[in-house]
Amino acid sequence: DIDHLNLRVQKELVEWLNWLKADIGFDGWRFDFAKGYSADVAKIYIDRSEPSFAVAEIWTSLAYGGDGKPNLNQDQHRQELVNWVGKVGGKGPATTFDFTTKGILNVAVEGELWRLRGTDGKAPGMIGWWPAKAVTFVDNHDTGSTQHMWPFPSDRVMQGYAYILTHPGTPCIFYDHFFDWGLKEEIDRLVSVRTRHGIHNESKLQIIEADADLYLAEIDGKVIVKLGPRYDVGNLIPGGFKVAAHGNDYAVW
């Protein structure tokens, strides 16, 4: 175990981080198991090494109901993520992985897309509150891959990417999906849509529809994304929009 409150430990870790920056060329940090030490300690490491980007893994359980599924309201869960960033310094480079969005998406794509509109009408994850500080993802090395601890439904992975790559937040693509699953071209198309239209971590999200079999949203007035098996959505798409990417139960205009 590392005693992060020990001043010598802090000093040596800061020196190591600065060596990684200056000599090796790293410019950002990922804080593993960040709930294992205080945000005050993480702030020390970030302030004294000045990375251009830092992301924390704060993985806690969602709130579940009696049916074994996540509650619609996950405010307490995303509040923890927001609190961490606030304590480390909201004006600095600190962000957190949006585990709230990940958990809700896992269930929503299984015929419960209504979950993607929170009680306030906004996105239900951290991206609904502080998107500039939310790093969205479909799976990572813990949840997917060989560990398989909280995997996204494997036949609906591209719905997950259609969501995070068109929405605010900073999307993160999983190595396995991109290189091993044969999804590179599909993911690339979504990335190019995001890049071409300048969608960014604080883009404006307008949720048009969130039903069991349909989620439809417009981002920055430039991009529209549809998730779910419902196809008769032509009446909901404004004129001038053309399909730019599509796949199994998703489309992007």
What is the rounded CA–CA span in Å between residue 219 and residue 222?
A: 6
DSSP 133-186: GEEEES--TTTSTTT-SSPPPGGGHHHHHHHHTTSSSEEE--HIIIIISS-HHH
CA 60 to chain centre: 15
pLDDT in tens, 210-220: 999 999 999 99
What is the rounded CA–CA span in Å between residue 137 and residue 227?
A: 16
Residue 2 lies in a domain: no
What is the rounded CA–CA span in Å between residue 135 and residue 98?
A: 5
Residue 61 lies in a domain: yes
CB 227 within 8 A of CB 214: yes
CB 55 within 8 A of CB 140: no
HSE of 42 in the Cβ direction (CA atoms, 13 Å)?
A: 29
Residue 237 lies in a domain: no
Give me the residues paired with residue 206 across strands: 218
Read off the amino acid at residue 140. Answer: N
Residue 159 lies in a domain: yes
Q: Which residue has the tokens 């999906």?
A: 177
Mean local confidence (pLDDT), 48-74? 96
Q: How far apart are the first and last CA of the chain?
A: 50
CATH number at residue 154: 3.20.20.80
180 noted as active-site residue: no
167: closest CA among 140, 196, 206, 129? Answer: 206
pLDDT at 173: 98
209 noted as active-site residue: no
Instruction: Tell me the residue range of the domain where 118 lies.
Output: 7-203
Q: How many domains does the chain have?
A: 1
Q: What is the pLDDT of the chain when averaged over all its residues?
A: 97
CA 229 to chain centre: 23
Residue 125 lies in a domain: yes
More confident residue, 20 or 147: 20
Residue 102 lies in a domain: yes
Residue 80 lies in a domain: yes
pLDDT in tens, 149-194: 999 999 999 999 999 999 999 999 999 999 999 999 999 999 999 9
What is the rounded CA–CA span in Å between residue 74 and residue 93?
A: 25
Q: Does the pLDDT value for residue 146 go beyond 90?
A: no
Rg (CA), the chain: 19
Residue 67 lies in a domain: yes
Q: What pTM value is reported for the model?
A: 0.96
Catalytic residue among 3, 12, 32, 188: 32
pLDDT at 218: 98
DSSP the chain: ---TT-HHHHHHHHHHHHHIIIII---EEEETTGGGS-HHHHHHHHHHH--SEEEE----PPPB-TTSSB-S--HHHHHHHHHHHHHHHTTSSEEEE-HHHHHHHHHHTTT-GGGGS-TTSS-SSGGGT-GGGEEEES--TTTSTTT-SSPPPGGGHHHHHHHHTTSSSEEE--HIIIIISS-HHHHHHHHHHHHHTT--TT--EEEEEE-SS-EEEEETTTEEEEESS----GGGSPTT----EEETTEEE-
